A and B are shown apart, each in its own frame.
Chain A
Amino acid sequence: MNQLNWLIVYPEIFLLLMTSVVALVGVNASESRLNLTFWIAEVSLGILALMHLNLLQSGATVYGMQRMVVADPLGHLLALAAAIATMITLGFARPYLKSRDLLKGEFLSLAMFSLLGISVMVSANNFLVVYVGLELMSLSLYALTALRRDHAVSTEAAMKYFVLGALASGFLLYGLSMMYGATGTLDIPYVFDAIHKGTAAPQVLTFGLVFIVAGLAFKLGLAPFHMWVPDVYQGAPTAVTLLISGAPKLAAFGITFRILVEGLSGLATDWQEMLIVLSVVSMSLGNLAAIAQSNLKRLLAYSAIAQLGFMLLGFTPTVINLSTANAVNGYSSALFYLITYVLTTLGTFGLVMYLSRHGFESEEISDLAGLGKRAPWIAGVMSLFMFSLAGIPPLVGFYAKFAVLQALVSTGIKGYIILAVIAVLLSLIGAYYYLRIVKTMFFDEPVDASPIRGDTGTTVLLALNGLAALGFGLMPDGLMSACRDAVLKAFST
């Protein structure tokens, strides 16, 4: 039990090795060597995804590194999704960065480092490991946001992200230290035991919990800790926005689950109330503020706040009448929601990059005008994403929303049913601005009627992404049961 068991984390070790290779090959690389670096990165991410898939299918739960990390289906599923998300991100980002002279070795290696941080976080079994992973991911992302260093907005966004991010990490760390003070351990299972034995001082625990929830809410970008989200989404180069809006959300889910559910479920009655407030505020603020946006990236940032608020609802029915019977249902719905949301959001930002040309960023909603005429297929795929985000069947976004609502209503408690109705009404407001994008693409006349010539690789990737949004909608069963199994195994151990 106390051995190091290096081999447990072999996907992470492989990722670290390949990241180093990418970093070395990509230094001061010429064009052809950059291509090589890009493909090394993509192929290693592919292999990494296969490793996680393989481990996910074996379904085993093993501990390693003196119980500092746990390799369980939940960790593998999240890491798998994150690896795929990063793969897609790099694929979308390449032509965009190339035309702006931003495609350097750093981008690839930093992106892979952030993925490494994510992989560490989602399989953490110890508060310190959570923190180390989090910092590895965050620092890589701060640096990436500042990638366009001669650009004022971009630099400002990076500054904001860094300062607020550091503050949030401080919150989280402070909260975790409180937990350490109260329970005398940093290992998540021991924290869980100590709380259940009732030996820990409840005031200290609650005090620490507030800081932990605030830190997590910042990382998830939930209101009222959302201030950085619109600025960073808008200011960062779109390729980096894509990176931030994808895999890190999965990581945030991972640590929320590891800390709150696996570690602090003894305090669930406290934190689930905090999460209810956070999610209702996020859904209201995100949906209402998104209506007023004219910048597409900013709109998507507010939409992300609202969507993650909805996802968070899945965490709220943890303890109902002193029973956790509804918990697994809720968590697995939230996980399904998040994975499909990330998939959809990758496509939307991919499209923004597809439309932007050299020296033209295509960030305003009005830039999409008449896209239905200029590029009907691309516009069609984009409307699939929009209808999915709005939660219209048969697209996957509907089944995700449905799963979460079902988890709320199945508690049978009036308060949760009212919560479901509120969520439904707020998502109706959300439908308005998603529809407005479809309207701009199909109903408005194009300003510039020339057909769009985008990168072929991106076109294929977009088409696949759109098909996934439709395919997971028509046949959501496979992914749903994978989420359920993963959560069930993580929850029962």
Chain B
Amino acid sequence: MIFLNMAIWLPILAGVVLLAIGRDENAPTVRWLALAAAVASFLVTIPLITGFDNAKVGMQFETRLTWIERFNATYHLGVDGISVWFVLLTAFITVIVVIAGWEVITKRVNQYMGAFLILSGLMIGVFAAVDGLLFYTFFEATLIPMYIIIGVWGGPNRIYASFKFFLYTLLGSLLMLVAIVYLYIQSQGSFDIPTWHALKLSMEAQTLLFFAFLAAFSVKVPMWPVHTWLPDAHVEAPTGGSVVLAAIMLKLGAYGFLRFSLPIAPDASHHWAWLIIALSLIAVVYIGLVALVQTDMKKLVAYSSIAHMGFCTLGFFIFNSLGMQGAIVQMISHGFVSGAMFLCIGVLYDRVHSRDIAAYGGVVNTMPMFASFAVLFAMANCGLPGTAGFVGEWMVILATTGFNFWVAALAATALVFGAAYTLWMVKRVYFGPVTKGSVSRLKDINAREFFMLALLAIAVLAMGLYPKPFTDVMQVSVDELLKHVAQSKLL
């Protein structure tokens, strides 16, 4: 269907055009064009959700064209209840990112905006691909713009961070490539993901495939112990880069579990579920503790992202409908909340040029409007009921209790730690008396910043107060997925 194709290619083409016309002299034009392109790209995704048939099993809005005849690879796009929200989320976050970079980015504006638009199209491609090779193409291609974004507009240690990001994720993906080739051969020359879902495989093959996919997706999510690239990348990336990284790129990994690991290797998934659950719990508990001792705000939010993504992987591998829906809701809400947290840090950083918690104190006195937004997002980050952060975590914990009480008890400690590190940071940064000169000179947010934070605040509250539209859309697809996972596919 035309809208899904446009959601991918409109931002990519706009990005290429921006790269072509760019000089720093016409930066204002570039900014408006980028905004227009981002908004247009978001608008074309809206028909995907309004026209979505909640009761239908399988892909919707499909496009299927021959792509590489020799490999029988097709240009096959489509969305189901799991992926459709991520298409919207990606396009939405791109609009926010363009607004966030408006005044902040002054050098090579066209390349900055172009890179984000291209990245947005590629990520939507990942969520929309129904062909394995096409999925891999989009999945890997996202590395190129992100590498450039971190390397060109990043902080002082950006080169190290960009290399670590690229090579770490490339290593994981290459093992997945071997798995994809293996599946292609096993299915007698097909790259169709639904065909792979129906493929019978021996336990040995399933185990190897499971671990090959785990290598790719666990790095991307990231799961403990392969998470170390994330704090580096976040700290060095420009604000927009951090937002996209946390809000969407991490979801590419979690989404991969749903599309590949679980339905293709269900028996291995059941067999190794304990491992994933253990790693998720370590992420939730241990990384939560690590977050507590951070002195750098961006690092703190980066570690909190890892802990939150631990909930997602936990929710996937307890194999019930509530847990999985909760995990997907958590993915979406984390997209809004972590994006907003990074934007708040960006707002402060633009003014004071420090990410150190110790450099602040009493911001609420000089920036009351900004502080109220920041506190709202912080509350959502610790999972306060009524905000988006609560819904997913609560669903996952509830489902886990039915699975195993002690696992649920451990997972629930995350709420405690989450509240601890978030609120402690809020106390040190926003409350208390103003002691630093730099803080006393702060000016409150302008209309542009107000607008972008307000958009996110609306999203966070809407999702927290009325999550039903989100879960309704994914219900049928999640049940279908679980039905697949419940069936043994052993030879």
Interface residues of A (CB under 8 A from B): 372-373, 376, 380, 387, 392-394, 398-399, 402-403, 405-406, 409-410, 412, 417, 420-421, 424-425, 427-428, 431-432, 435, 438-439, 442-443, 476-477, 480-481, 484
Residues of A within 8 A of B70 (CB): 477, 480-481, 484
Determine whether B25 belongs to the interface, using a CB cutoff of 8 Å to chain A.
no
Interface residues of B in 53-83 (CB under 8 A from A): 66-71
Contact with A420, one of B22, B71, B162, B181 (Cβ below 8 angstroms): B181
Is B137 within 8 A of A424, CB to CB?
Answer: no
Determine whether B177 belongs to the interface, using a CB cutoff of 8 Å to chain A.
yes
Contact with A431, one of B71, B152, B170 (Cβ below 8 angstroms): B170
Given contacts A410-B181, A424-B177, A435-B147, 9 further A-B contacts (CB under 8 A): A373-B108, A406-B185, A420-B181, A421-B175, A435-B167, A439-B151, A443-B158, A477-B66, A477-B67
Residues of A within 8 A of B127 (CB): none
Cα distance, A387 to B19, chains bound together (Å)? 18
Stretch in B38-46, B138-146, B304-312, B351-359 with 4+ CB within 8 Å of A: B138-146
Is A477 within 8 A of B68, CB to CB?
Answer: yes
Cα distance, A250 to B108, chains bound together (Å)? 41
- Chain B's closest residue to A387 (CB) is B144
Is B141 within 8 A of A428, CB to CB?
Answer: no
- Chain B's closest residue to A473 (CB) is B137
B121–chain A nearest beta-carbon distance, Å: 12
Is A393 within 8 A of B140, CB to CB?
Answer: yes
Q: A417-B182, A421-B178 are in contact. Are A480 and B68 (CB under 8 A)?
A: yes
Cα distance, A484 to B178, chains bound together (Å)? 22
Residues of B within 8 A of A398 (CB): 137, 140
Residues of B within 8 A of A406 (CB): 71, 181, 184-185
Residues of B within 8 A of A424 (CB): 174-175, 177-178
Determine whether B206 belongs to the interface, using a CB cutoff of 8 Å to chain A.
no
Residues of A within 8 A of B143 (CB): 392
Is A439 within 8 A of B159, CB to CB?
Answer: yes
A366–chain B nearest beta-carbon distance, Å: 14
- Chain B's closest residue to A384 (CB) is B144
Determine whether B166 belongs to the interface, using a CB cutoff of 8 Å to chain A.
yes
Q: A392-B143, A431-B167 are in contact. Are A442 and B181 (CB under 8 A)?
A: no
Cα distance, A392 to B143, chains bound together (Å)? 9
Q: A417-B178, A424-B178 are in contact. Are A481 and B144 (CB under 8 A)?
A: no
Residues of A within 8 A of B184 (CB): 406
Residues of B within 8 A of A376 (CB): 19, 22, 111
- Chain B's closest residue to A483 (CB) is B70
Interface residues of B in 147-183 (CB under 8 A from A): 147-148, 151-152, 158-159, 162-163, 166-167, 170-171, 174-175, 177-178, 181-182
Per CB-CB distance, the 3 closest pairs between chain A and chain B, nearest first, are: A393-B137, A443-B151, A424-B174
Determine whether B3 belongs to the interface, using a CB cutoff of 8 Å to chain A.
no
Q: A406-B181, A424-B177, A431-B166 are in contact. Are A392 and B158 (CB under 8 A)?
A: no
Is B163 within 8 A of A435, CB to CB?
Answer: yes
Cα distance, A480 to B70, chains bound together (Å)? 7
Q: A372-B152, A477-B70 are in contact. Are A409 and B144 (CB under 8 A)?
A: no
Residues of A within 8 A of B181 (CB): 402, 405-406, 409-410, 420
- Chain B's closest residue to A429 (CB) is B167
B21–chain A nearest beta-carbon distance, Å: 12
Cα distance, A465 to B15, chains bound together (Å)? 21
A482–chain B nearest beta-carbon distance, Å: 10
Cα distance, A432 to B168, chains bound together (Å)? 11
Cα distance, A428 to B141, chains bound together (Å)? 15
Determine whether B286 belongs to the interface, using a CB cutoff of 8 Å to chain A.
no
Q: A393-B137, A394-B137 are in contact. Are A442 and B152 (CB under 8 A)?
A: yes
Contact with A along B167-209 (1 / 0, CB 8 A): 1001100110110011011000000000000000000000000
B129–chain A nearest beta-carbon distance, Å: 12
Determine whether B136 belongs to the interface, using a CB cutoff of 8 Å to chain A.
yes
Q: A392-B143, A428-B171 are in contact. Are A405 and B163 (CB under 8 A)?
A: no
Q: What are some 18 contacts across the A-B interface (CB < 8 A)? A: A372-B152, A392-B141, A393-B136, A394-B137, A409-B182, A420-B178, A424-B175, A428-B170, A428-B171, A431-B166, A435-B167, A438-B148, A439-B151, A439-B163, A443-B151, A443-B159, A477-B68, A480-B70
A327–chain B nearest beta-carbon distance, Å: 16
- Chain B's closest residue to A484 (CB) is B70
Is B68 within 8 A of A476, CB to CB?
Answer: yes
Contact with B177, one of A402, A417, A435, A443 (Cβ below 8 angstroms): A402
- Chain A's closest residue to B67 (CB) is A477
- Chain B's closest residue to A407 (CB) is B181
- Chain B's closest residue to A443 (CB) is B151
Question: Majority SS of interface residues in chain A?
Answer: helix
Is A392 within 8 A of B162, CB to CB?
Answer: no
Residues of A within 8 A of B163 (CB): 432, 435, 439
Cα distance, A398 to B144, chains bound together (Å)? 13
Is A425 within 8 A of B185, CB to CB?
Answer: no
Residues of B within 8 A of A439 (CB): 151, 159, 162-163
Is A409 within 8 A of B152, CB to CB?
Answer: no
- Chain B's closest residue to A431 (CB) is B170
- Chain B's closest residue to A405 (CB) is B181
Residues of A within 8 A of B162 (CB): 439, 443
Cα distance, A421 to B185, chains bound together (Å)? 16
A296–chain B nearest beta-carbon distance, Å: 19
Cα distance, A476 to B75, chains bound together (Å)? 13
Residues of B within 8 A of A425 (CB): 171, 174
Residues of B within 8 A of A372 (CB): 152
- Chain A's closest residue to B208 (CB) is A417
Residues of A within 8 A of B175 (CB): 421, 424
Residues of A within 8 A of B69 (CB): 477, 481
Cα distance, A409 to B205, chains bound together (Å)? 13
A466–chain B nearest beta-carbon distance, Å: 13
A45–chain B nearest beta-carbon distance, Å: 29
Residues of B within 8 A of A405 (CB): 177-178, 181
- Chain A's closest residue to B174 (CB) is A424
Q: A393-B141, A431-B166, A443-B151 are in contact. Are A412 and B185 (CB under 8 A)?
A: yes
Cα distance, A376 to B20, chains bound together (Å)? 10
- Chain B's closest residue to A436 (CB) is B163
A421–chain B nearest beta-carbon distance, Å: 6
Cα distance, A427 to B167, chains bound together (Å)? 11
Is B178 within 8 A of A392, CB to CB?
Answer: no
B330–chain A nearest beta-carbon distance, Å: 30
Is B144 within 8 A of A392, CB to CB?
Answer: yes
A324–chain B nearest beta-carbon distance, Å: 18
Cα distance, A403 to B140, chains bound together (Å)? 17
Residues of A within 8 A of B177 (CB): 402, 405, 424
Residues of A within 8 A of B68 (CB): 399, 476-477, 480
Residues of B within 8 A of A443 (CB): 151-152, 158-159, 162
Cα distance, A392 to B173, chains bound together (Å)? 10
- Chain A's closest residue to B110 (CB) is A376
Contact with A392, one of B71, B140, B182 (Cβ below 8 angstroms): B140
B237–chain A nearest beta-carbon distance, Å: 13
Cα distance, A266 to B120, chains bound together (Å)? 53
Residues of A within 8 A of B182 (CB): 409, 417
A427–chain B nearest beta-carbon distance, Å: 7
Cα distance, A393 to B136, chains bound together (Å)? 8
Is A442 within 8 A of B148, CB to CB?
Answer: yes
Cα distance, A428 to B178, chains bound together (Å)? 13
Q: A387-B144, A443-B152, A477-B68 are in contact. Are A409 and B178 (CB under 8 A)?
A: yes
- Chain A's closest residue to B186 (CB) is A412
Cα distance, A402 to B175, chains bound together (Å)? 12
B300–chain A nearest beta-carbon distance, Å: 26
Cα distance, A417 to B108, chains bound together (Å)? 45
A251–chain B nearest beta-carbon distance, Å: 25
Cα distance, A484 to B70, chains bound together (Å)? 9
Contact with A435, one of B71, B152, B166 (Cβ below 8 angstroms): B166
Residues of B within 8 A of A428 (CB): 167, 170-171, 174
- Chain B's closest residue to A380 (CB) is B19
- Chain A's closest residue to B122 (CB) is A394
